[in-house]
Structure 1
Amino acid sequence: MFRFSPATSFQQRSWQLLLAIAISTIVIVVSTLVVVYANKRTTVKIDTAANNIQQLAALETAAIKAEASERTYCLLNDTNFLQTFKEAHQTLITLSDSALLTAYLQAYPQQATTLLQQIRQQELHMNMAIDKHQHLDTATILHKNDAIDNIRSIIKYISQQEHSNIQAAKDAQQRNTTISFWLIIVCIVVNVLLLYQYYKMVQHNIVEHQQIENALIKAKNQAEEANESKARFLSTVSHEIRTPMNAMLGMATLLKQRPLNDEQRRYLINIQRSGVALLVLVNDIVDFSKMEAGKLKIEHRPFVVHHVIDEVFSIVKSTNANVIVDYQIARDVPRVLVGDANRLRQLLINLLYQSLQHIQKGYVELTITAQQQSNKQWQLNFTVLAENNDTNVLLDEMPLDISDAADFGSKLTVSGFGLSIATRLATLLGGKVKLETNNNHTNYTFTLSLPEPHSLTPEEIAQLNKHDSQFEDINPKLADEIPLSILIVDDQEMNLVLLSSILVKMGYVFATAHNGAEAVQMATQNKYQLIFMDIYMPVMDGVEATQRIRKHYLPNEQPIIIALTANAVMENKAYAQKKQLNDVLIKPYKPADIENIIRQWLAPQA
């Protein structure tokens, strides 16, 4: 059977087998057609030979009849026999002049020539005998007329040859049929073997594909498991970093409310900005992991463009007096657009950090212009222009992807990472970051197409008009405006102190618990309207505590439970709501975030 090289592909082997089957089938068809054609020609030869034998017999009969009539007429002088003689004589002449004898002149030249001579001799003799009217005696006629015997002898010889030809043709026909039959049988057997080989090959290929598919599924599951492990690791890392960052930035915010001299205030601002920069990096790492897994979602909500830019520049400010950071927003830029403000903010922060990181002296400026594409659709053009008088690296070698940045050296690892985040965010938002360098200048540009909102509810308008800076003052009269019974649940003492300090400054009185079990016990003994619930705690976590607390409250008395978390997974509000949590407050949070949560869920209805 066929043997294939291990390197031969399934497709090549299939074509080879199918070609062999096709050739075998063609052999069957051709051999059948050849045998049919040969048998047809043989049949024609047999029919021709049989017809020749009949004509030879007719010739012999006519010669005998003519001779008998001539002799009878000569002996009896009966004119009736003369008429019979003439008819037989005419038949003899006709047959002797036919194409049959002409053909025999080529096949049997000697016998055919002798036969014609004998026929002519007999004809001449008979005519002479008739003309003499018995002038010759009967014995003379009989003695001289031996042509008929010669004719019979020649016809017998030729007839025997024709019979031999017929038998030979029949034997050849039988032989061809037998050869064709066995050839067809052999080809059919070969085809069956080839089809069986093809079936085995296909079956083997299916098994191989199944094994490959199983291996791919296994590899996919392992990759997903690895991604899940990576996600859990990043979630844990982000939680462990954000938790102390929450306390640090929160305490810095509270400290800012105290009277400080200029030097202390400058130190405090540097602490806040450094903390925010670290927080941006942590967020970038988590978001990069989400982008790698294809899980980063883009939201489409109304936002105020100026507010986003203000927030960006409240975070991205150089501590170097030799670097000026500024922005320009064109007058035709719409005030409110629909898009993902958080991702746009993150994109701009990364581009500005990228520009600031390699400048020791110069300026960085963000310019925003707009072009109206249709009635409600706008194209925003963002340009980050940096003038660099003293760079650590050449700007025209700046990588635009994390894979390029990884090979660029330790000085660009962080910046290259942030730039990669920016380029990917721009792609998700529907734009593309472009880098242009010219001597000591570098430009990052990208465009976004964003629509204006068709209509806004009064609540959305109020929310958009409320703009909180990074370090806002705490509202000391919020408790008078929205009185509440509050429970804070957190196992980290610093986080308890931070949130307690914020709520105290807002005028609230509250209770605290250090784990989920303690919170459940307190919630069954007291009725709380608002519960700030940390998620990761010893004894009992926040999710289980929330579900148990829900069971102790009537439907119309259910408290608003807000998840306090630094976990990247719990940032998804839909996921949190599945766990019966109303909303999520991400660490580190600001006093304004607390106020926004209270107003959103518990403000009196107008």
Structure 2
Amino acid sequence: MKRAKLSFSNIILIIACLVVVVSILFLNVINTRNIITLKNSIDTLSIENKNISILRTASDVLLEGELMFTRFTQTGEVSLSKLSATSIDKAIEHLKVLKMESDSGRAAQITLQLNKEQSLPKMIAEFELFSKGLKENQVDPTNRREVDSLSSILAKYNQQLKGVLVKEDAFRENLNATIFKNAVTGTDVIQKFFWVSLLIILFIVGVLVYNIYKMVNYENEILEARERALKLAQVKSRFLSNMSHEIRSPLTAIMGFTEIIDKIEVDTEKKNYLHAIKTSSEHLLSTVNDVLDFSKLDAGKLKLEKQPFYIASAIEEVAFALSSTSAANKGIKVDSIIELDKNLAVKGDLFRLKQILYNLLSNAIKFTEKGNVTIIANISGTTEKQVMVKIAVADTGIGIPNDQIKTVFEEFTQVTNNSTSKDTRRAIKGTGLGLSICKMLVELQGGTIGVESKLNQGSVFTFAIPYEVANDKVANEKELTAMNPISSSLKDKRVLVIEDNDVNIMLLTMLLKKVGIVYDIAKDGEIGLQLFKDNNYDIILTDINVPKLTGDEIAIIVRQYTDEAKRNIPIIGLTATIVQDDLDEYIASGINEVLVKPFKQDELYATIEKYLY
């Protein structure tokens, strides 16, 4: 079994999708990091550091206290002294807060800068003494020396605070520049990500459009191929139908007259000639049947029957038929080892089982020049409702080379053995369909088939088919014939025969005369329909492919006739086709039963009698 291969465009699409997934994941990681950095930068720009705010507030209230103290020294008003003390107390509060946070983050950096000129604890202590002196009126505004000393303390510390603030402002400017640069970089990355993503998406869209275009072309090609295949199938079916008709129609006359003459001829030499004609006709019929069966099997149109039959009896009948004809002619013995209960009845397709056995057995006889052919049948498995019937056909023939064993079940295949003489190889001919048909038929019934072979020693073909067990007793063909002999009461029955082939007319009239049936002949459908209207008949025998009105068209008209008795007259169709669809159409048109040419005279009599009694 061949594995489906990916097309080049499908491979490109898969690779593109993988690249897109990896790229998008990678770019998303980078983009997420840049977005987070950008967000942090924006937060940093929009929110001032808390410790810087504390220091700035302390500097502002200290400056306010310094101004109040200066006005106090100028005016001597005690209220100004109190206001100055209040401002200094506020500055002390802020400095104490900054001192408490000096172990974390930016506060530690600020404290370190303050301590370069004067330690923060000492600064707080001096401010507390200063504030206390102002509150207790211990400062004399007229004492210029004391006033100047106190003013210089305030100015010095205020300048120290402002110096730290200047440095912090410079730091913040540098930080803002860095943040702005990061923001610009992040924006560039986002833009690049957008353009890269857009290009990748456009590439994927292009690949998808290309694949859709290819898919549409493939679908159109498939639809065109399907239409061509349907037309070829119709031509093939019609060709097989026509071929079947053109070959089987003359075979009907050949085999029919051969059978009639064979029953009345007593001369041995002439009977041998008749036997040769009969054998050749049967071989030609078998070849046509093989081709048609293979066609139906190949198209899946072959339908299996499911009727009860004795399986041991079926095997014995095929073995006996071939042992007394083709095997006897070559001096080959056919042995049967049937390890089955003779009363074992199963439900299945008896005709197809015989066809498989006939093909395998005749194939074994064909490739065997001396020795014997053996049929071995037994039960390989059972259940409550089914039995697995296993049948082997062994021969002592030329065998199959190892390099050809795998191909023996292929259609139109012929085994060739290089060690076999040219004359023998030339004599072994056929359609090459027998084994292929066997394999198809076995597998269609849910079974298996295989072969084992040794060169110049022989081959063993084995198949197994599951059959449903039939509970009711089944009458075999001999019993049915004994129970239902051809009645002599067919004499004087009136039959309308619609047939355009003179040879087939001659054959049918001879067979009808033989049992005393009265008949009228019509060579086209219109004449036949007129005879039907003008006369009373017991049954109609009509070929399907007659001129003017075909057999199925006649049946449709008859089934719509006003006279009920005539409307229900039995109609037997005669055709050379075995295409099941055509046969179903004939039955649907109102034909009671279809006899496929070539048919035996007993089949014709039994079918007529079936609808007259």
Category of TM-score, reference length = shorter chain = 0.7 to 0.9
Partner Cα distance (2:48, 2:79) in 1: 43
Bigger Cα displacement from structure 2, 136-145 vs 345-354: 136-145
1:236 aligns with 2:242: yes
Describe the shift of the 1:19–1:440 C-alpha distance in structure 2 as closer, same or farther (beyond 3 A).
Answer: same
1:294 aligns with 2:300: yes
Partner Cα distance (1:378, 1:106) in 2: 98
Trace 1:336-351 onto structure 2 (pairs within 5 A).
Answer: 336-351=345-360
Deviations 1:449-504 (A, max 9, x none): 21232447xxx859783159xxxx99472514xx6321112221111122222222
Bigger Cα displacement from structure 2, 78-87 vs 524-533: 78-87
Pick aligned residue for 2:549 from 507, 529, 540: 540
Describe the shift of the 1:507–1:354 C-alpha distance in structure 2 as closer, same or farther (beyond 3 A).
Answer: same
Describe the shift of the 1:246–1:312 C-alpha distance in structure 2 as closer, same or farther (beyond 3 A).
Answer: farther
Pick aligned residue for 2:480 from 430, 453, 466: 466
2:524 is matched with 515
SS of equivalent residue, structure 2 residue 116:
helix
Aligned residue pair count: 586
Describe the shift of the 1:277–1:313 C-alpha distance in structure 2 as closer, same or farther (beyond 3 A).
Answer: farther
1:365 aligns with 2:374: yes
Q: Which TM-score applies when normalising by structure 2?
A: 0.80
Deviations 1:359-399 (A, max 9, x none): 222222323223671344322221212123xx397598454
1:592 aligns with 2:602: yes
Describe the shift of the 1:11–1:488 C-alpha distance in structure 2 as closer, same or farther (beyond 3 A).
Answer: farther
Pick aligned residue for 2:52 from 37, 45, 49: 49
Pick aligned residue for 1:563 from 569, 573, 582: 573
Deviations 1:2-30 (A, max 9, x none): xxx96754444444445555555555544
1:139 aligns with 2:144: yes
Pick aligned residue for 2:466 from 432, 438, 449: 449
- Per the TM alignment, residue 134 of structure 1 is displaced from its structure 2 partner at its CA by 8.2
SS of equivalent residue, structure 1 residue 320:
helix
Describe the shift of the 1:478–1:592 C-alpha distance in structure 2 as closer, same or farther (beyond 3 A).
Answer: farther
2:99 is matched with 98
Pick aligned residue for 1:418 from 428, 434, 441: 434
Partner Cα distance (2:395, 2:84) in 1: 135
Counterpart amino acid of 2:95? L
1:479 aligns with 2:482: no
1:386 is matched with 395
Describe the shift of the 1:361–1:16 C-alpha distance in structure 2 as closer, same or farther (beyond 3 A).
Answer: same
1:405 aligns with 2:413: yes
Whether the aligned pair in 2 keeps the contact of 1:24 and 1:190 (CA below 8 Å) is no
Trace 1:9-20 onto structure 2 (pairs within 5 A).
Answer: 9-17=12-20, 20=23
Partner Cα distance (1:105, 1:25) in 2: 37
Whether the aligned pair in 2 keeps the contact of 1:358 and 1:393 (CA below 8 Å) is no
- Per the TM alignment, residue 216 of structure 1 is displaced from its structure 2 partner at its CA by 0.9
Describe the shift of the 1:51–1:406 C-alpha distance in structure 2 as closer, same or farther (beyond 3 A).
Answer: farther
Describe the shift of the 1:305–1:467 C-alpha distance in structure 2 as closer, same or farther (beyond 3 A).
Answer: farther
SS of equivalent residue, structure 2 residue 433:
helix
Describe the shift of the 1:436–1:517 C-alpha distance in structure 2 as closer, same or farther (beyond 3 A).
Answer: same
- Per the TM alignment, residue 268 of structure 1 is displaced from its structure 2 partner at its CA by 2.6
1:432 is matched with 448
Describe the shift of the 1:322–1:464 C-alpha distance in structure 2 as closer, same or farther (beyond 3 A).
Answer: closer
Counterpart amino acid of 2:479? N
- How much identity, in percent, do the aligned residues show? 21
Q: Which TM-score applies when normalising by structure 1?
A: 0.81
CA RMSD of aligned residues (A): 4.4
Which consecutive unaligned segments of at least 5 residues does structure 1 have?
Answer: none
Bigger Cα displacement from structure 2, 520-529 vs 316-325: 316-325
Whether the aligned pair in 2 keeps the contact of 1:515 and 1:540 (CA below 8 Å) is yes
Describe the shift of the 1:270–1:51 C-alpha distance in structure 2 as closer, same or farther (beyond 3 A).
Answer: farther
Bigger Cα displacement from structure 2, 58-67 vs 311-320: 58-67
Which consecutive unaligned segments of at least 5 residues does structure 2 have?
Answer: 1-7, 418-424
Bigger Cα displacement from structure 2, 105-114 vs 221-230: 105-114
1:226 aligns with 2:258: no
Whether the aligned pair in 1 keeps the contact of 2:305 and 2:349 (CA below 8 Å) is yes
Bigger Cα displacement from structure 2, 263-272 vs 89-98: 89-98
Trace 1:317-356 onto structure 2 (pairs within 5 A).
Answer: 317-318=325-326, 320-330=329-339, 332-356=341-365
Describe the shift of the 1:374–1:79 C-alpha distance in structure 2 as closer, same or farther (beyond 3 A).
Answer: closer
Deviations 1:191-223 (A, max 9, x none): 567556655654553443233222212212211
- Per the TM alignment, residue 287 of structure 1 is displaced from its structure 2 partner at its CA by 1.0
- Per the TM alignment, residue 564 of structure 1 is displaced from its structure 2 partner at its CA by 0.8
Describe the shift of the 1:289–1:368 C-alpha distance in structure 2 as closer, same or farther (beyond 3 A).
Answer: same
Counterpart amino acid of 1:441? G
Whether the aligned pair in 1 keeps the contact of 2:65 and 2:85 (CA below 8 Å) is no
Partner Cα distance (1:220, 1:120) in 2: 100
Whether the aligned pair in 1 keeps the contact of 2:364 and 2:373 (CA below 8 Å) is yes
Whether the aligned pair in 2 keeps the contact of 1:67 and 1:148 (CA below 8 Å) is no
Bigger Cα displacement from structure 2, 421-430 vs 90-99: 90-99
